[in-house]
Every structure is written in structure tokens, then in C-alpha cells.
Amino acid sequence: MGVIVRTTSGQVEGTVAEGVHAFLGVPYAAPPFGVHRFAAPAPPVPWEGVRQAVAHGPAAPQPASTDIGLFAPDVFAVGDDCLNLDVHTPDPGSAGLPVLVWIHGGAFAIGANSAAWHQGHRFARDGVVCVAINYRLGFEGFLALEGAPLNRGVLDWLAALEWVRDNVAAFGGDPSRVTIAGQSAGGAAVATLMSMPRAADLFHRAIVMSGSATLVATREEAEAYAKEVAARLGIRPTRDDFAALTPQALVDAQPPPLTGQAGGLNESVPLKPVVDGDLLHGPPLGALRADVPLLVGCTSQEADLFVRRAGFDEAAAQAVTRHLFGRETQWIAEARPAHTYEFRWESPVESPVGGGRVGAVHNLDLPFVFDVLDAPGVARTAGTPPQALADAMHGTWVRFVSGHPLPAEKLIFE
């Protein structure tokens, strides 16, 4: 039997294993369907008694399978109550522990906090309260509709961070020591939050992994895209018309998570945050907070699988990596003071797409950072990866989140 913790909505009981307490599927907002569909997140519905928090909550509606991930074995159960989070803590009875809030990637169209390659139990083992969130994806979270607020997925991130502010102390964490972190689209989410005045008091450090500070749409671009989608579906680009369709119907109508990789990131990701003049006043790059310690970096062969899958050679893949991920990382590091890193370890496993080896591609650094080399799919993707490298990367992230100094020079992990 796990420890019972009282949140602002009710009591939750989790599990404990190997000294780590896990509270899974805890709602931070009401289910965003029914009367709440295409609306800003509403407070969670309070409950009586003790809620069992022993299994991951449902992910947001999304395609049942996709190949943009790196052979990861995850198949996510989706459902209405998708605005939930997982908490891993070393001791709910403790106080003042540093907090890591993780935002998953997936081109703002796929993914979940339950993915095997970014589970937080090893962070908790090492003294960090790890909170991993789900949020609305695809059309539900990011399509610009008349009669609906823009940036619903972004509002979900804010609601989750407000929940952390109000509740993490009950799990042993310090709400004044919160680091937000994310990879890929999650990294772009972190950069977006770093530029938002409304988020200013909700976190105190940031980590951008393989992310972007330019991945946004203008209001005009977002509205034009919504009109294209609506015309294809034979409806109007309004909240009422889209709410008349089931979540699965909208998932079926969404484009693949990544399109047009030969262009820039904005061309590759059709659904993303919108410069609305309220939450976002421009691309995040021009407004990144300088007072928040930042760790930013990427892998050395980010785009290889994407480009080789499209039939291009290794030289083209490296060019795209430099153009998309390397350039974005450099821009962020030049925009304000930051610690930088590069992940160079190359998997020797033969790639199932485009020939050659897997290499140091997009997503491969995740099981090293979370120290989960024993997670499903890692051996198939990375062979026998070096534990010493996971110790180094994970230890660096723990030190940064805990507020300890890092070397000034670029960190190389290989």
C-alpha cells in the first residue's frame, strides 16, 4: 500500500517500489470534452475519498501508431480524462526537494507521459521530484477555431504548472525550485513558456532538448490552415462544427505528425503554438527570459532517420540536422546565457530505414538522460549502450535541476 497525499482536488494513493513513490494519472484539469471541448482547461472535478493513482492516465487522442518515433514500443491508451500527470518522488513526507516538470515531444500531435523512454523514477531515486504531464494534441489542442481560445495546448501546460505550484509541496517538492524540461516539441514548449509573461512565476530553470524557439504560427497562418482543414471536411472552421465530430474523426483527418521535412521546422509541423497577442507576442526566440538558468542541446545526427526514410543520402541528412536542430540550438544559446551540450554517441544497430547504422539520432538521448537503458525498445535500438554515458548525462541533468553549477564549456556526451 502506498502513501496517501492530499491535493487541492482530493486525496491520492500511489505505489512505492525500490524506495520511489509513484502517483500516476492524477488530473490537473477537467476532461477537455463535452462542455469543455475546445475550451480553456477547467479545474479538475474534486473527488471524495481516496483516488487510486496506480496506473498511467489516458493520453490525448492521437493516431494509434506512427513511425516518427525511434522504434519505441509505446502504444498509448487514449481517453477523455487526458489532462493528467504522473509524479515520482523519493519521499512525499520530505520538503524542499527540487522539481523537474517534463513535457513530452511528438510534433504537438502524438506522445504521452507514459512513454517508456522518459519515466521519472530514476530522477526520484536521485532526490528529484519528477512530474510528467499530458496535454491536448493535434486539432484538439492547436487548431485555430472561431469561438474557441487559441493555444489550448499551451493553456494546458500553464494549468499543469499551476497545479505543480499549488500541490508539489505535498509530494516533497519545493514550488520555488521548479525546472521545466522537454524534448523535440516538448523542447519547443519549454522555449515558448520561457517567453510568456504569464508563466514567469511558475518555473525557475529550463532545459531544451532538440527543441526550437521559432516553432510558432502567426494568427493569419493558423486561421488559414484551419480554413483549409474545414474545407476538406466540408464544415466551417468553428468550435461548434468541429465539436460535432468525434475526437477519433478529427484524429483520422489530421496530417502525419511530420510533413515536408525538406523545409524548415515550421513547414514540417503544421500544428503548433500561435502568436496571439495575449499569451505569445512573437516568436519565443526574441523574448527568452535571461534570468532563468538554461541547459540546451541536441544530438549530432538528429535528422538522419527522417531524411534517409525520404530517400536522401547521409550528406543530406547531416545538412538537415545542421539546418534544423543545430541552428535552432545555436540561436537559443546565442539569444541568452546558456549551458550547451551535444549527444554524439552513435548506436551501432543497423537502421530499419534508409540503410546504415542508427547513429546519434533524434530521441536516442532520452533513455540516457532518464537513466532507463533497461526500458523496452532500448536494446533493439541501441544494442548494448554504455551505462557510464547514462550515468554522466543523467547526473548532469540532476545537478542542473538541483541548482549545482555546470562547466562553462560545451558538454560533449559520446
Are 382 and 349 in contact by the 8 Å Cβ rule? The answer is yes
Report residue 103 as a C-alpha cell: 513535457
pLDDT of residue 260: 44
Would you mind telling me the total number of residues written for the chain in this entry?
Answer: 414
Is 302 a residue of the active site?
A: yes
- Over the stretch 245-289, which tens digit does the pLDDT of each residue have? 999 999 999 987 765 444 566 677 889 999 999 999 999 999 999
Residue written as cell 513547414? 267
Are 391 and 371 in contact by the 8 Å Cβ rule? The answer is yes
Q: Given 162, 223, 302, 346, which residue is catalytic?
A: 302
Measured in whole angstroms, how far is the alpha carbon of residue 145 from the centre of its chain? 24
pLDDT averaged over 10-residue windows placed end to end, the chain, 414 residues: 93 96 98 98 97 97 68 79 98 97 95 96 98 98 98 98 98 98 97 97 97 96 97 98 97 77 65 96 96 96 70 64 79 95 94 78 95 94 96 98 96 98
Task: Tell me the pTM.
Answer: 0.95
Neighbouring residues of 27: CB distance < 8 A, sequence distance ≥ 6: 9, 44, 45, 57, 81, 83, 84
Angle at 297 between CA 143 and CA 104, to 5 degrees: 40
Is 184 a residue of the active site?
A: yes
Give the separation between CA 151 and CA 55, rounded to whole angstroms: 28
Phi, psi of 198, deg, nearest 5? -65, -20
pLDDT of residue 68: 46
Class of residue 330 by CB neighbours under 10 A (exposed 0-12, middle 13-18, buried 19+):
middle
CB atoms within 10 A of CB 291: 8
pLDDT of residue 91: 96
Taking alpha carbons only, the member of 132, 128, 134, 169 closest to residue 7 is: 169
**Range 48-66 burial, b when 16+ CB lie within 10 A, else e:** eeebebeebbbbbbbbeee
pLDDT of residue 166: 98
**Could you tell me which residues are beta bridge partners of residue 183?**
209
DSSP string, 12-51: EE-EEETTEEEEEEEESS--SSGGGTTSPPPPPPP-SSEE
**Range 154-179 burial, b when 16+ CB lie within 10 A, else e:** bbbbbbbbbbbbebbbbbbbbbebbb
Are 372 and 193 in contact by the 8 Å Cβ rule? The answer is no
Neighbouring residues of 234: CB distance < 8 A, sequence distance ≥ 6: none
DSSP string, 157-220: HHHHHHHHHHHGGGGTEEEEEEEEEEETHHHHHHHHHHT-GGGTTS-SEEEEES--S---EEHH
- Over the stretch 145-161, which tens digit does the pLDDT of each residue have? 999 999 999 999 999 99
Q: If DSSP codes are grouped into helix, strand and coil, which group holds residue 349? A: strand
Report residue 377 as a C-alpha cell: 525498445
Q: Given 9, 140, 162, 184, which residue is catalytic?
A: 184
pLDDT of residue 262: 45
Measured in whole angstroms, how far is the alpha carbon of residue 11 from the centre of its chain? 27
Q: If DSSP codes are grouped into helix, strand and coil, which group holds residue 306? A: helix
372: DSSP letter: -
pLDDT of residue 197: 96
Are 367 and 379 in contact by the 8 Å Cβ rule? The answer is no
Q: Which amino acid is at 304?
A: D
Report residue 361 as a C-alpha cell: 539520432
Are 218 and 150 in contact by the 8 Å Cβ rule? The answer is no
Give the separation between CA 179 and CA 190, rounded to whole angstroms: 10
Query: Containing H/E element for 99?
Result: strand 97-103
Q: Given 21, 118, 121, 362, which residue is catalytic?
A: 362
CATH fourth-level superfamily of 4-413: Alpha/Beta hydrolase fold, catalytic domain (3.40.50.1820)
